[in-house]
Chain A
Amino acid sequence: MSAQSVPQGFEPKIIGFLCNWCSYAGADKAGGMQAPYPPNVQVIRVMCSGRVDPQFVLSAYEKGADGVIILACHPGDCHYKEGNCRALQRHALLNLVLEQLGVEKERCRLDYVSAGEGEKFNRVIGEMVEAVRALGPLRLLRENNA
């Protein structure tokens, strides 16, 4: 289970899987707006959110991530027609697994950001960082792997 109390100065490490066509473009849009957001999310670009294998998420936790955010095209807008629906299905299943592992569901978020939604990207990243910061470091997996 995660830490009972959050250590002072804790900065969460978060992996963001962004699909190339909508949410990665949305992140670029947020960049163009030049409004700062927390630096805690490292972006991994994939062509489609449907490419995000659940083992990428588990592996991210294993390698030290405190949270993972998957950002997809809005339903109906997927560049590959329905890859985001696959991402949604996998996310639902992943949540069940994470629950059994004692990983809070706030540590694995799926959301939709379109290429035009720079402001939403900025907001979603801020929310994610704050949510994981409040939970503190993810400990269980790392201790088990140690």
Chain B
Amino acid sequence: MKIGIYFCNCGSNIADKISSAAVAEAAGSFPEQPFLKTVDFICSEDGKLQFEESLKAELPDRVIVAACSPRDHEATFRRCMINAGLNPYLLQMVNIREQIAWVTEDPEIATAKAIRAVRGALYRVRLQQPLEKKELEACPDALVIGAGPSGMKAAMALAEAGRSVVLVERTPMIGGLPVRFEELFPDLECAPCMLEPLMGELLHGDHAGKIELMTMSEVIEVTGFYGNFIARIRQRPRHVSLHECIGCGECAAACPAVTMNGFNNSASERKAIDFAFTGVLPNAPFLMEEVCVRSRGEECRACKDACPMGEDVVDLEQVENVVERRIGAIILATGAGLYDASRVAGMGFGAFPDVYDALQFERLLSSTGPTAGEILTRAGNVPLSVAIIHCVGSLDSDHKPYCSGICCQYAFKFNHLVSARHPDTAITHYHRELVMPGKTAHTLFRHAARNANTSLKRYSSIDDLAVTLADDGRLQVSANGENNVADMVVLCPAVIPAEGTGRLSALLDVGCDSSGFFRELHGRMDAAQSAIKGIYLAGSCQEPMDIQKAILQGMAAAGYTLAGLQPGRTLEIEPINAEVDEVRCAGCRLCISVCPYRAVSFDSGHNASSVNAVLCHGCGTCVAACPAGAITGHHFTNDQIMAEIEGVLK
């Protein structure tokens, strides 16, 4: 075996401390008789050229570069290997600059240490194997789960880039939570007006043909891996064709069955077939089977007969349907919900009708809500006094330990909206901390603080607060030994992951953090990626966030998809990964439990573990864990590491 050692002087950086002649002499004692060439600056253009020319002339079987840290230039010298027609994994670097020359005073001692390190590399490089990047066909299309702001933005960006997108939404409508609001913090922009252009583009724009929207649908199974997922999606029957319905509402007008509308705090009525609320998109009603008189066995086709668009729009016989789609990437944009405020003792939520949580209050403020935007108590009166309680379940070790981040801002938005409509109404904020980061959030707070009818009362523990009924039947908020009447109490509960997050987490093997949000790959560097390759996170399913950040994260998730999967381009699989020898594998599955990336699975057909090279990051944790020595960590094999240990100690 012919081995070449390239010794970089790095000017005087290395040469001052380490004698290349002494290294050459020591290397000469090896059976392979490796040759040693000294280069002044091997990373310079001239140095790389010399290196490549020498490689081409000598054609060594293995190559050692003794120079700077491999973290600096391993990739550089691997490219030189490729340029010279050699396999890049037949190269081993020895870090004689950062870890020897620069930190050892005595040149003799430094040279001796360098000789040991080169000997280790010689022992190791003999065992190194040529490795090839594998290539795999990959589908460039994506599945987006959740049609709120972040999911819609991601879907739109992908569609504009020519990708096909399957957009799956659990509810009958798109737009997520904000589309149910009237005005948004910090500038009181109209929420539906802000979202409508995006929703319009998505449904009817130039690229709408690339987006397959499935409302009332859920992903029930995902198999495969990055670039090659197959998703099974269950569509509950809407009984109304999204493509043919014109949204006239004649069916709802004809429908004889009435129920309370859950989208409006169950404070207004709807028909069995009806819109979630006025102006909702897609502009088509949905039929609540359990409310329809047909569910009681009665014969009725009033809605179908009322439809001016013909027989086919309302389909009373429609049943649940499961479809399968092939995609390369998955974007989770399932959003958030509110902590059940009835779990926080003393808040009166669920007990007193005029105690609202923030989402209910948003609907009360909305012109499409139960009171058409009038701020009225359940009895129909304008409230003379409103209490807003912050931090209901947030920053609370008995409930949710984190700050939900958005509540202070919407609480002061509520303040503005109430005081603008009813200037004489007294508003009291009960707050623990006040959190208003960023360049715009302070404005609504300033407005509230300047309002003569607004008072801010700080409490230290929610246990010190109690919402009760006073003798006159009005609500009463007790705090710090002081009682204040209120006609309405608005609670700001902790923001929690949306319902179904845990189910999706189990289905996709995407981990959740201790608060139940999807866990990101890295809190700063990769907050829009999950630990599973090809599964991205967008919006408040990752952590509580405002619309701005959710939209940005939606774009980030789309960006990852666009960068990673390109039509006509295969996925390159890094050869530094793990591989199971199924003959030696005893089937203990320890490797599966230690893999942070769910890259190892059990192949019951062969009764052995199997590593998916696409998902493997090459850390080697499973290799070290395997009690049978059945897993090889390519380029960091047991034999190679043991040989290096032996070499440096010889």
A contact residues vs B (CB 8 Å cutoff): 13, 15, 20, 24-25, 27-28, 30-32, 34-37, 39, 42-48, 50-56, 59-60, 63-65, 79-83, 86, 90, 122
Contact = CB atoms under 8 A, between A and B. Distances in A.
A47 B103 contact: no
A34 B103 contact: yes
Contacts of B263: none
A55 B624 CA distance: 9
B620 A15 contact: no
Nearest to A34: B102
Interface in B31-74: 69-71
A81 B596 CA distance: 7
A115 B619 CA distance: 17
B623 A53 contact: yes
B649 A63 contact: yes
A80 B621 contact: yes
Contacts of B636: 46-47, 51
Given A34-B103, A35-B103, A54-B624, 15 more contacts: A36-B103, A36-B104, A42-B116, A42-B120, A44-B648, A51-B623, A56-B638, A56-B642, A63-B650, A65-B649, A80-B617, A80-B619, A81-B531, A86-B621, A122-B103
Given A28-B98, A42-B117, A47-B618, A59 B624 contact: no
B12 interface: no
Given A44-B641, A83-B596, A51 B619 contact: yes
B556 interface: no
B618 A43 contact: no
B624 A53 contact: yes
Tell which of B97, B105, B594, B597 has the most Cβ of chain A within 10 Å.
B594
B116 to A, nearest CB: 6
Contacts of A20: 71
B649 A64 contact: yes
Tell which of B98, B597, B636 has the most Cβ of chain A within 10 Å.
B98
Contact of A24 (B71, B102, B103, B623): B71
A121 to B, nearest CB: 9
A90 B624 contact: yes
Contacts of A30: 98, 103
Pairs of residues from A and B, 8 with the lowest C-beta to C-beta distance, nearest first:
A31-B98, A51-B620, A50-B621, A80-B619, A42-B648, A81-B596, A48-B619, A53-B624
A39 B100 contact: yes
Contacts of A24: 69, 71
A30 to B, nearest CB: 6
Interface string B403-420: 000000000000000000
A56 B643 CA distance: 10
A138 to B, nearest CB: 12
A44 B69 contact: no
Contacts of B644: 44
A74 B102 CA distance: 25
Interface of B: 69-71, 95, 97-100, 102-105, 109-110, 112-113, 116-117, 120, 531, 576, 594, 596-597, 617-621, 623-625, 633, 636, 638, 641-642, 644-646, 648-650
A37 B531 CA distance: 38
Nearest to B635: A47
A31 B104 CA distance: 9
B74 to A, nearest CB: 10
A124 B220 CA distance: 51
Contact of B71 (A25, A35, A39, A50): A25
Given A27-B98, A43-B95, A46-B636, A51 B645 contact: no
6 contacts: A20-B71, A24-B69, A27-B99, A42-B113, A44-B648, A53-B638
B607 to A, nearest CB: 24
Given A24-B71, A47-B620, A53-B638, A39 B645 contact: no
Given A39-B100, A39-B104, A63 B624 contact: no
A50 B99 contact: no
Nearest to A24: B71
B113 A39 contact: yes
A55 B645 CA distance: 11
Tell which of B594, B625, B641 has the most Cβ of chain A within 10 Å.
B641
Given A47-B619, A51-B621, A36 B105 contact: yes
A42 B96 CA distance: 11
Contacts of A45: 70, 95
Given A47-B619, A80-B621, A39 B109 contact: yes
A33 B349 CA distance: 61
A52 B624 contact: yes
A2 B648 CA distance: 22
Contacts of B576: 47
Given A46-B636, A50-B624, A80-B596, A28 B649 contact: no
A60 B645 contact: yes
A47 B463 CA distance: 50
A31 B103 contact: yes
Contacts of B97: 31
Contacts of B642: 56, 59
Contacts of A56: 638, 641-642, 645
Given A39-B110, A39-B113, A86-B621, A59 B98 contact: no
A64 B641 CA distance: 15
A13 B649 contact: yes
Contacts of B618: 47
Tell which of B100, B617, B624, B644 has the most Cβ of chain A within 10 Å.
B624
A86 B105 CA distance: 36
Nearest to B646: A63
A59 B646 CA distance: 8
Nearest to B97: A31
A46 B103 contact: no
Contacts of B646: 59, 63
A64 B649 CA distance: 6
Contacts of A55: 638
A117 B71 CA distance: 16
Contacts of A31: 69, 97-99, 102-103
Contacts of B116: 42
Contacts of B70: 45
A129 B554 CA distance: 51
A136 B380 CA distance: 87
Given A39-B109, A48-B619, A56-B642, A32 B625 contact: no
